[in-house]
Amino acid sequence: MSVETQKETLGFQTEVKQLLHLMIHSLYSNKEIFLRELISNASDAADKLRFEALAKPELLEGGAELKIRLSFDKDAKTVTLEDNGIGMSREEVIAHLGTIAKSGTADFLKNLSGDQKKDSHLIGQFGVGFYSAFIVADKVDVFTRRAGAAASEGVHWSSKGEGDFEVATIEKAERGTRIVLHLKSGEDEFADGWRLRNIVKKYSDHIALPIELPKEHYGEEKDKPAEVEWETVNRASALWTRPRTEVKDEEYQEFYKHVGHDFENPLSWSHNKVEGKLEYTSLLYVPGRAPFDLYHREAPKGLKLYVQRVFIMDQADQFLPLYLRFIKGVVDSNDLSLNVSREILQSGPVIDSMKSALTKRVLDMLEKLAKDKPDDYKTFWKAFGQVLKEGPAEDFANKEKIASLLRFASTHDESGEQSVALADYLGRVKEGQDKIYFLTGETYAQIKNSPHLEVFRKKGIEVLLLTDRIDEWLMSYLTEFDGKQFVDVARGDLDLGKLDSEEDKKAQEEVAKAKEGLVERLKGALGEQVAEVRVSHRLTDSPAILAIGEQDLGLQMRQILEASGQKVPESKPIFEINPGHPLIEKLDAEPDEDRFADLSHILFDQAALAAGDSLKDPAAYVQRLNKLLVELSA
């Protein structure tokens, strides 16, 4: 071992300490994944070297044959994994092995429950990488040198996985990284060739790089002194380049865990080779759970991009629209040049054509999942439904297809689950119904009993109940489906078309005419608070309701704008009354104008509360109500 210089001891970032503690105590049931994670990192290091060597061939230092070597020492109780990939400089070692620079870290740590079983699933969502070494090792040594750096610029990193780590400068002749795991007591099973071979075959057979182990000799040969013979124990060919018929489901699943940094199996995948005008291969996966940084829009996303089998970049986000950012996988193109950059990828006919085709493939995959595996689609919807709802605004060409994949709660299903597809809704429409009715609100509990639904319940008409923050914005882009228009039941003057008989319409006109005097009195009492007062056709049980003007913002959009500090356009609600309700009849008969005004304001405020809105002047509402209660009890 060469002399160590510039030795220093540094502390782990707080998040790393928490993650290390958690892994050591939570992942005991699946220890062998440490090897998958370390091999995956070594494979990435080789990919990065290949890419950088396109512009700087000297980085290969005369050794272009990239591989991973795995060895063990039973007596010393060590397992060593070595690669001749890109390697790391001292600064990179401190940055990569001492901190977790990943958006969503805070969310991840906040969600930890202390329940080891649950937390081990959370780790899978976050991805563990290098730190998984401490599941089986009580000390880890890393010897590394970045390609292109001098032999004297090697780095030795060492830690026992507790509060700190040591970094020193060493002499290292070969580029790349060697990791030595000093196995904990009781983990000797991993210092065994047969065990290591099995783990490689199980988790890393798909790695496109040769993974070599010392050849084991049996019988007389084992006594012969000889140099170590290495043999490749994995298939060592890129999985996506193989014919689909030759790839087992288990291999597809393990490859997903490699590209998706996930512990769980994917819900679905699609492996496709395109030939003809464009030539490329894609392997796309639908994950079963959302990563913590799904809603961090600046978080890295996209597919692994290869050009003619050569790795180009990790998160190429140009091949799928943003609303499909949860898709993981690989795209390998024959039509892009090897020196392609992010800037070149921004546009162009090849990129546009591939993006269009890959988007369609993902939507087809989701459609198939919904049809063939509804329970899996339910899992997908819970994880990614809100992200998919961004689609109609972003992807006009596929708007109808995206709409068919959306799921909603509705008055048809009392569970409140978002399980109703638009096709289901249309299959249940009433005769003469030419609209799709919906209502937005804060929560399902709040809107399932909304007065806006009264006439629909009476006539047995299904209404979609939309409670996600994004829903009102979504419906401003999703105006129709299968030729039927969407109608917000809380907006404008409700017209049920053929669902109202001629007798109903005539009766409504007569009542409106008979109550013109009351309407005028209410306008005078409520003044500037309302845009309009009118007789309602929506109500059967409630005395009054607030409707939104046809062009006005709804409550959801107003709250989103206010929360983001934007100015909300001024708008006033429409006050609708139910002329047959006893309270409205009493109001109509009230001769005292001051008392009439108080009662009008109480009804108006109650209608605002029923709509889920907050009162402009709660104190005035309480005073009027108390005054009324005193009068009633006198």
- Structural domains in the chain plus CATH codes: 5-235 (3.30.565.10), 241-378 (3.30.230.80), 406-498 (3.40.50.11260), 499-633 (1.20.120.790)
Buried-state track 150-181, b at ≥16 Cβ within 10 A, e below 16: eeebbbbbbbebeeebebbbbebebbbbbbbb
Quote the tokens at residue 457.
Answer: 């319940």
Residue with tokens 């769980």: 264
- Residue 112: the pLDDT is 57
* Distance (Å, whole) CA 147 – CA 175: 5
Q: Is 590 exposed, middle or buried (0-12, 13-18, 19+ CB in 10 A)?
A: middle
CB 407 within 8 A of CB 418: yes
Quote the tokens at residue 43.
Answer: 């494979």
* Distance (Å, whole) CA 304 – CA 371: 28
CA distances for 297 relative to 103, 293, 323, 341, 563, angstroms: 10, 8, 11, 21, 18
Which amino acid belongs to residue 260? G
CB 490 within 8 A of CB 475: no
Q: Is 617 exposed, middle or buried (0-12, 13-18, 19+ CB in 10 A)?
A: exposed
Q: What share of the chain is helix, strand, coil (3-state, %, to 5)?
A: 45, 20, 35
Beta partners for residue 331, in sequence order? 282, 305
CA distances for 532 relative to 71, 194, 353, 451, 511, angstroms: 81, 81, 51, 18, 17
On the CB side of 415, how many CA atoms lie within 13 Å of its CA? 6
Quote the tokens at residue 240.
Answer: 């996506």
Which amino acid belongs to residue 613? D
- Residue 64: the pLDDT is 81
Q: Could you count the other beta carbons within 10 Å of the beta carbon of residue 482?
A: 12
- Residue 26: the pLDDT is 60
- Residue 623: the pLDDT is 86
What is the enclosing helix (H) or strand (E) of 532? strand 532-535
**CA gyration radius, the chain:** 33
The closest alpha carbon to 405, from 347, 462, 365, 345, belongs to 365
End-to-end Cα, the chain, rounded Å = 98
Which amino acid belongs to residue 396? F
Quote the tokens at residue 172.
Answer: 């290292």
* Distance (Å, whole) CA 356 – CA 350: 10
In the chain, which residues have pLDDT < 50?
101-104, 124-125, 220, 222
Which DSSP letter does residue 227 get? P
pLDDT, one tens digit per residue, over 307-332 is 887 778 878 888 999 999 999 999 99
- Residue 103: the pLDDT is 43
Q: Could you count the other beta carbons within 10 Å of the beta carbon of residue 432?
A: 11
CA distances for 301 relative to 90, 110, 182, 305, 315, angstroms: 28, 22, 35, 12, 5
CA angle 112, 469, 422 (to 5 degrees): 110
